[in-house]
Structure 1
Amino acid sequence: MSDSAGFFMRLSFRWRLLMALLAGAGLPLAFAPLEFWPLSILGPALLLLSLQGASARAALGLGWAFGLGQFGVGISWLYESFTLFGGAVAPLAALITAVFVALMSIYPALSAWLTQRVGGTLTPISGKQVAAFAGSWVLVEWLRGWLFSGFPWLDLGIAQTASPLAGFLPIVGEYGTGLIVVFLAGLLAWLVQCLVQAPRPALKPAVVFVGFLAFFIGMGSLLGRIAWTHPVGDPLSVGIAQANVPQMQKFDPAFLAKTLQTYVSLTEQMGAVSVVIWPETAIPDVLSDLDWFKKRLEERAQSHHQDFLVGAFTQDDSGRYYNTLVGVPDGVGFHRKVHLVPFSEYMPLRPIIDLFSGMIDIPMSDLSPGSVNQPLQQVQGVKVGASICYEADFARDIRHSLPAAGFLVNVSNDSWFGDSFAPHQNLQMAQVRAHEFGRPMARATNTGISAFVNAGGQVVQKLGVNQEGILIGTIQPYQGSTPFYWLQSWPIIAFSMFLLGGVAWLN
Structure 2
Amino acid sequence: MLLAGGLNVLSFAPFHFWPVQILGLALLFSQVLREGEQAISRKRAGWLAWAYGLGWLTATTIWLVYAMTLFGGLPGILSLLALMFLTGALSIYIAAAAWGTRWLQQRWNISSAVAGLLILPGLFTVAEWLRICFLTGFPWTISGYTHTHSPLAGFAPVIGVLGLCWLNALLAAALALLMVTQASRQQKLALPALIVTVFVAGYGLQQISWTQPQGQPIQVRLLQGNIAQDMKFSQEHLNDSLALYHDMITQTPADLIVTPETALPMLTSQLPPDYLPLLNTFAQDTASTVLLGVGVHDGGDQYSNSVLGMSRQYAQPYRYDKHHLVPFGEFIPPGFRWFVKMMSIPMGEFSTSGPIQPAMKVAGQWVMPNICYEDLFGEEIAAQLSSQHNAGQPVASILLNASNLAWYGNSFAIPQHLQISQMRVLETGRPMLRATNTGATAVIVPGGVVEQLLPENTRAVLAANVQGYTGMTPYILIGNFGALGLSALGVLLAFLLGRRAAK
Q: Using structure 2 for the length normalisation, give the TM-score.
A: 0.90
Structure 1, unmatched stretches of 5+, are 1-19
Quick check: 1:180 aligned with 2:161? no
SS state at 2:22 partner: helix
What does residue 6 of structure 2 align with? 25
What does residue 247 of structure 1 align with? 229
Q: Deviations over 1:351-397 (max 9, x none)?
A: x423662x311111111112223332222243221100111111122
SS state at 2:216 partner: coil
Quick check: 1:378 aligned with 2:366? no
Which among 137, 145, 149 is matched to residue 132 of structure 2?
A: 145
Quick check: 1:92 aligned with 2:78? yes
Map 1:221-240 onto structure 2 (within 5 A).
221-240=203-222
Question: Distance in 2 between the 1:109 and 1:396 partners?
Answer: 25
Which among 251, 274, 282 is matched to residue 292 of structure 1?
A: 274
Which among 384, 390, 398 is matched to residue 401 of structure 1?
A: 384
Q: Is the Cα contact below 8 Å between 2:25 and 2:172 reproduced in 1?
A: yes
In the superposition, relative to structure 1, how do residues 432 and 211 fare at CA in structure 2: closer, same or farther (>3 Å)? same
What does residue 426 of structure 1 align with? 417
Question: Distance in 2 between the 1:74 and 1:133 partners?
Answer: 23
Q: Deviations over 1:332-363 (max 9, x none)?
A: 5110001111111001135x423662x31111
Quick check: 1:447 aligned with 2:454? no
Q: Deviations over 1:205-264 (max 9, x none)?
A: 553343223222222112112111111111101000011111111111211111122223
Return the letter of the residue paired with 2:379: R
Return the letter of the residue paired with 2:366: K
Which among 59, 63, 77 is matched to residue 73 of structure 1?
A: 59
Return the letter of the residue paired with 1:221: Y
Q: Deviations over 1:30-88 (max 9, x none)?
A: 11111111112111101011223121111121111011111110111111110112222
In the superposition, relative to structure 1, how do residues 202 and 296 fare at CA in structure 2: closer, same or farther (>3 Å)? farther
Quick check: 1:273 aligned with 2:273? no
SS state at 1:145 partner: helix
What does residue 8 of structure 1 align with? none
Question: Distance in 1 between the 2:489 and 2:200 partners?
Answer: 26
What does residue 5 of structure 1 align with? none
Quick check: 1:314 aligned with 2:296? yes
RMSD: 2.1
In the superposition, relative to structure 1, how do residues 123 and 50 fare at CA in structure 2: closer, same or farther (>3 Å)? farther
Return the letter of the residue paired with 2:17: F
Q: Using structure 1 for the length normalisation, give the TM-score.
A: 0.90
Question: Distance in 1 between the 2:475 and 2:159 partners?
Answer: 6
SS state at 1:410 partner: strand
SS state at 1:244 partner: coil
Quick check: 1:103 aligned with 2:89? yes
Return the letter of the residue paired with 2:213: P
Q: Deviations over 1:96-120 (max 9, x none)?
A: 1121121111121111111111124
In the superposition, relative to structure 1, how do residues 93 and 225 fare at CA in structure 2: closer, same or farther (>3 Å)? same
Q: Deviations over 1:148-176 (max 9, x none)?
A: 00111222221100001000111111122
SS state at 1:340 partner: coil
What does residue 264 of structure 1 align with? 246
Q: CA deviation at 1:319?
A: 4.2
Structure 2, unmatched stretches of 5+, are 390-394, 499-503
Question: Distance in 2 between the 1:73 and 1:210 partners?
Answer: 31
Q: CA deviation at 1:461?
A: 0.8
Which among 324, 330, 336 is matched to residue 321 of structure 2?
A: 336
Question: Distance in 2 between the 1:355 and 1:342 partners?
Answer: 11
Task: Between 132-141 and 217-226, report the one with greater CA deviation.
Answer: 217-226
Q: Is the Cα contact below 8 Å between 1:118 and 1:503 reproduced in 2?
A: no
Task: Between 317-326 and 202-211, report the one with greater CA deviation.
Answer: 202-211
Which among 118, 125, 150 is matched to residue 163 of structure 1?
A: 150
Question: Distance in 2 between the 1:349 and 1:501 partners?
Answer: 37
SS state at 1:146 partner: helix
Which among 99, 111, 133 is matched to residue 113 of structure 1?
A: 99
Return the letter of the residue paired with 2:130: L
Question: Distance in 2 between the 1:238 and 1:193 partners?
Answer: 54
Task: Between 282-291 and 323-332, report the one with greater CA deviation.
Answer: 323-332
Return the letter of the residue paired with 1:434: V
Quick check: 1:493 aligned with 2:484? yes
What does residue 58 of structure 1 align with? 44
Question: Distance in 2 between the 1:118 and 1:130 partners?
Answer: 13
Question: Distance in 2 between the 1:69 and 1:335 partners?
Answer: 37
In the superposition, relative to structure 1, how do residues 381 and 426 fare at CA in structure 2: closer, same or farther (>3 Å)? same
In the superposition, relative to structure 1, how do residues 123 and 43 fare at CA in structure 2: closer, same or farther (>3 Å)? farther
Q: CA deviation at 1:298?
A: 1.3
Return the letter of the residue paired with 1:386: P
Question: Distance in 2 between the 1:256 and 1:206 partners?
Answer: 66
Question: Distance in 2 between the 1:396 and 1:46 partners?
Answer: 30
In the superposition, relative to structure 1, how do residues 154 and 461 fare at CA in structure 2: closer, same or farther (>3 Å)? same
Q: CA deviation at 1:140?
A: 1.1
Q: CA deviation at 1:317?
A: 4.4
Q: Is the Cα contact below 8 Å between 1:325 and 1:336 reproduced in 2?
A: yes
Which among 341, 348, 362 is matched to residue 365 of structure 1?
A: 348
Q: CA deviation at 1:283?
A: 0.6
Question: Distance in 1 between the 2:187 and 2:179 partners?
Answer: 9
What does residue 472 of structure 1 align with? 463
Question: Distance in 2 between the 1:499 and 1:48 partners?
Answer: 17
Question: Distance in 2 between the 1:91 and 1:69 partners?
Answer: 17
Return the letter of the residue paired with 1:48: F
In the superposition, relative to structure 1, how do residues 449 and 124 fare at CA in structure 2: closer, same or farther (>3 Å)? same
Question: Distance in 2 between the 1:505 and 1:26 partners?
Answer: 37
Identity across the alignment (%): 35
Return the letter of the residue paired with 2:425: A
Task: Between 253-262 and 475-484, report the one with greater CA deviation.
Answer: 253-262
Q: CA deviation at 1:318?
A: 5.6
Q: CA deviation at 1:192?
A: 2.3
SS state at 1:345 partner: coil
Question: Distance in 1 between the 2:470 and 2:110 partners?
Answer: 51
Map 1:406-417 onto structure 2 (within 5 A).
406-417=397-408
Return the letter of the residue paired with 2:91: S
In the superposition, relative to structure 1, how do residues 307 and 156 fare at CA in structure 2: closer, same or farther (>3 Å)? same
Return the letter of the residue paired with 1:338: H
SS state at 2:461 partner: strand
Aligned residues: 480
